[in-house]
Amino acid sequence: MESFEYTAHAARVIFGAGTLSRLPDEVARLGAARPLLLTTPSRRAVAAGVRAAARFDGVAAHTPVEVTARALEVARSNGVDCLVSLGGGSSTGLGKALVARTGLPLIAVPTTYAGSEMTPVLGETENGAKTTRSDPALVPRTVIYDVALTTSLPAGVSVTSGLNAMAHAVEALRSPRANPVVDGFAVDAITRLGRALPRVVERPEDLDARADALTGAWLAGMCLGAVGTGPHHKLCHVLGGSYGLPHAETHAVLLPHTMAQHAAAAPGAMRRIAAALGVSDAPTGVFDLAARLAAPRSLAELGLTEQGLAEVAGAQPGAGPLLREAWLGNRPAVTGGRPDLTRLTGEVVASFAGAPDKRLAALLGDLARRLHGFVADNDVTEAEWQAAIGFLTETGQLCSPTRQEFVLLSDTLGVSSAVDLLTHSRSPGTTPSAVLGPFYVDGPPDVPHGADLAEGLPGVPLRAEVTVTDPDGRPVPDAVVDVWQSNQDGFYDVQLPDLEGPVLRARLRSDEHGRLWFRSILPSEYPIPADGPVGRMLRATGRHPYRAPHLHFMISAPGHRRLITQLFVAGGPYLGSDAVFGVKDELIVDFPAHEDGSRSVAFTFRIEPDH
C-alpha cells in the first residue's frame, strides 16, 4: 500500500480567451478598488488597457530585492489595496515579494508558461545570491489565464518557457514527496507541452495549441506547488542568481542533463516521461525536442564562462560532469543501455507531415510515437510482434457482414467505450450513450406500435414502453427508434443461419407525444463470440466473455443528435464485469415482474438538440 501526503495550494482560476476582461470583477470580488499593476516594458501595450490606481513596469528577472523596494514605495505612496501581476514568472515573483511585505491580495495574469502563479514559492536575489522560501500566504488569490495574451509571445520565449514548465513536472515525478495526484498532473502536463510546443512554433496564433500549452504549464505549476523543488531547480537557481543566466533558458538547457544523471535512480519516472512524449528515452527525447524547437543547447551559449563553470561545479558536489555536458551542449547518452528509437520515430512522424489532412497527419504521428514507445518500453521481441501481426490478421479474416471481430476486439479492450465517452459528452439531462456493438444491422423492419419483436420465440414475455423527449422534457414526435437484442439463449438473429429473416430487431416511430411501445422477451446475458482470436485473448487473460443482459436502442430525430445506447436489467448478472465495459449506472433500470410471470420496462430517453 502506498502512503503519502498531499497539500493543495488552491487559487481561483479563470481560463479562456479574452478573460483579462474579467479582471475588474475579480478586483471587486476581493473587496478592493485600487490595484497596483506590476508588469514589464514589453507588456505596456496590454497593460495600457488595464485600469489601475498605480503602475510599476520595472519588473526584473530573479526578483532583485532592490527592485522590490522600489515597487513597495510605489504601492505605499499610492494607497493601493491589491496587487495585479501581468507577465511571466518575474512579474508573478515581484507580486509574491510584495505580498510577503504588505499582506495585500495578489491576482496573477500569466502571459508565459512559467507556472509560478500556482506555487507558494518565492525566489529573491540579493548581493548575487538567490534564496527561496515557501509560504502558502504567497499563493495568488486568483489566477486569470487569458490564452489570447500568449499568442504574441515570441516562438523562442514560448519554447523556453514551456520547457521550464516541463521541468516542474519532470521533477515532480521523481520527487520523494510524489503522490498519485501529482503524478497524474505531471504526466498530463508533459503530454500537453510535448505536443503543443511544436504547434505553437509552427502556428503561433493557434489558440488550441496555446491553450494546450497553458493548461500544461498550469498543471506543472500545481506539481511544483505541491512537492517543491529538487536538484534540477536548485542548480538553475545558482546559475541564475549568481551568474545572471536567464531563468527559462537555463531550465531548457539543463533539463535533459539532470534527467540523464538521475535516470538510473528513477526508472519508473523516466518511463512515464518517455511515454508522455512518445519517445523511447526520456532525457534524449527532451533534448531532441528542445533542439528541434531551436531552444538554446548550451550553458556557454547563455553566457556562462569556463571559469564560472568551474566555480559552480566546485560548489555543487557530483554536478560537475552534467554541468560540463550542458556547457558544451552535448546530447546526453541514452539511458538504460537500449537502442535509441528517437531518430527512427522522428522520421516516421515527419513522413506524415505533408498529408493534406492535418488531422490525419497528427493522428498517425501520435500513433507512431505511442507504438514505438510501447515497443521500447516493453522490449517487444520479433517473435512477439509477429504473433501480434498474426492475431490482427486473423481478426480481420474473421470479419464478415454478420460478424465483426474487430469491433469485438475494440469492445473487449475498452476502446469502443473510451471513444464513446469522449465523443458523446452530453449536456446535463440527456440519456447516456453506450457502444453500438457488433450485431447492429442497418435497415431493420418497420413495425407498428405493439408489435411482437420475438415473433413467438421462447422467453419471458416483456412489454416495453418508451418515451423520447428533449433535455427539457418536451416530447420528440416521429423519432426513429431502432431496437435489437439477443434471444433467451444469448444469440442474435445474425448468429442463427436457420432463422428466416430478422427477428428481435425492429424500427418504430414515436407518436405526437414522443411515445411508442412494443412486446418482446426479457433479454438474457450472453457470451460474445469466443471462437476466434478475441476469445483466445480473453481465455489467456482469465476473462469471461459475457455481457450483462440488455436491450439496444438507436434513436434519431430531425434537429437532434443520434443517440446509441442500451438498457441493462437491474439485478442481472455481469453488471460489474461486462466483457466490453459497456455498463453505465444510469442505464441500469428496473424490469419489474408481474403476477402472470411477464416483465415490463418503461424508460424516457432524452436526446440532445443538434445545435
Q: What CATH number has the domain bearing residue 424?
A: 2.60.130.10
pLDDT classification of 124: cutoffs 50, 70, 90: very high
Q: Looking at the structure, tell me whether residues 85 and 1 fall in a common domain.
A: yes
- Rounded to an integer, the average pLDDT of 258-264 is 90
Q: Is residue 472 part of a domain?
A: yes
Residue 478 located in a structural domain: yes
Q: Strand 480-484 and strand 550-556: pairing? A: antiparallel
pLDDT of 5 higher than 90: no
pLDDT value of residue 512:
96
Above 90 in pLDDT, residue 346?
Answer: no
Q: Using a pLDDT cut of 90, give the percent of the chain over it.
A: 66
- The domain boundary residue, chosen from 126, 150, 174: 150
CB 504 within 8 A of CB 454: yes
**pLDDT, mean of residues 455-476:** 95
Q: Per the domain annotation, does 210 fall within a domain? A: no
Q: Do residues 369 and 481 share a domain? A: no
Q: Report the chain's C-alpha Rg in angstroms.
A: 30
Would you say residue 97 has pLDDT above 60? yes
Q: How far apart are CA 91 and CA 86, in angstroms?
A: 6
Output the CA torsion 247→248→253→256 (10° steps): 120
Same domain, 373 and 443: no
Q: How confident is the model at residue 338 (pLDDT cuts 50, 70, 90)?
A: low
Both 58 and 107 in one domain: the answer is: yes
Is 106 contained in some domain?
yes
pLDDT for position 69: 96
CATH classification of the domain holding 28: 3.40.50.1970
Q: Would 179 be classed as within a structural domain?
A: no
Residue 1 has pLDDT above 60, yes or no: no
Confidence of residue 476 (pLDDT cuts 50, 70, 90): very high
SS3 of 231, please? helix
Greatest mean pLDDT among 228-232, 271-275, 314-318: 271-275
pLDDT of residue 349: 87
Structural domains counted in the chain:
3
* pLDDT, position 577: 93
The pLDDT of residue 486 is above 60 = yes
Average pLDDT over residues 577-588: 93
For residues 426 and 368, membership in a common domain is answered with: no
Whole-number pLDDT of residue 372? 87
**Is residue 376 over pLDDT 90?**
no
pLDDT band at 2 (very low <50, low <70, confident <90, very high): low
Domain-embedded: residue 364 = yes
Please report the pLDDT score of residue 418 as a whole number: 86
Give yes or no: residues 599 and 458 share one domain. Answer: yes
Average pLDDT taken over every residue of the chain: 91
Asked whether residue 27 falls in the same domain as residue 96, the answer is: yes
Q: Which of 482, 464, 479, 486 is nearest to 550 (CA)?
A: 486
* Residue 51 lies inside a defined structural domain of this protein: yes
First-residue to last-residue Cα distance in the chain: 48
The C-alpha angle 369, 372, 376, rounded to 5 degrees, equals 135
- The residue with greater pLDDT, 591 or 372, is 591
133: pLDDT strictly greater than 80: yes
Q: How confident is the model over 108-117, as pLDDT tens digits?
A: 999 999 888 9
Last residue of a domain, one of 133, 150, 167: 150
Q: Flag whether pLDDT at 169 surpasses 70.
A: yes
Determine the Cα–Cα distance for residues 160 and 587; give it in Å rounded to an integer. 48
513 and 465 co-located in one domain: yes
Local confidence band at 427 (pLDDT 50, 70, 90 cut-offs): low
* 456 and 356 housed in the same domain: no
Of residues 187 and 11, which shows the higher confidence score? Answer: 187
Domain final residue pick, 377, 403, 423 = 377
Based on the fold, state whether residues 67 and 143 are members of the same structural domain.
yes
pLDDT of residue 605: 97
Helix (H) or strand (E) holding 215: helix 207-227
Query: Which position has the higher pLDDT, 318 or 206?
Result: 206
Residue with the larger pLDDT of the pair 276 and 333:
276
Same domain, 114 and 66: yes
Banded model confidence at residue 48, pLDDT cuts 50, 70, 90: confident
Residue 199 in this model has a pLDDT that exceeds 70: yes
Give the C-alpha separation, 373 to 369, whole Å: 6
- Considering the domain architecture, whether residues 354 and 423 belong to the same structural domain is answered as no
425: confidence class by pLDDT, cuts 50, 70, 90: low
Quote the pLDDT of residue 592. 97
Q: What are phi and psi of 170, to 5 degrees?
A: -60, -45
Q: What integer pLDDT is reported at residue 419 of this predicted model?
A: 84
Kindly tell me if the per-residue pLDDT of 572 is higher than 90: yes
User: 521: helix, coil or strand?
Assistant: strand
Residue 265 has pLDDT above 70, yes or no: yes
Task: Assess whether pLDDT exceeds 80 at residue 248.
Answer: yes
Is residue 340 within 8 A of residue 285, CB to CB? The reply is no
Q: Is the pLDDT of residue 337 over 60?
A: no
Domain housing 86:
1-150
Q: State mean pLDDT over 78-91.
A: 95
Yes or no: say if 450 and 517 are a contact pair by the CB < 8 Å rule.
Answer: yes
Q: Does the pLDDT at position 497 exceed 80?
A: no
Which range (309-323, 374-388, 425-439) has the least confidence? 425-439
Q: What is the pLDDT of residue 228?
A: 79
Q: Which three cell numbers stand for residue 415?
A: 476502446
In a domain, 599, yes or no: yes
Query: How large is the average pLDDT for residues 207-233?
Result: 90
126 by DSSP, 3-state: which? Answer: strand
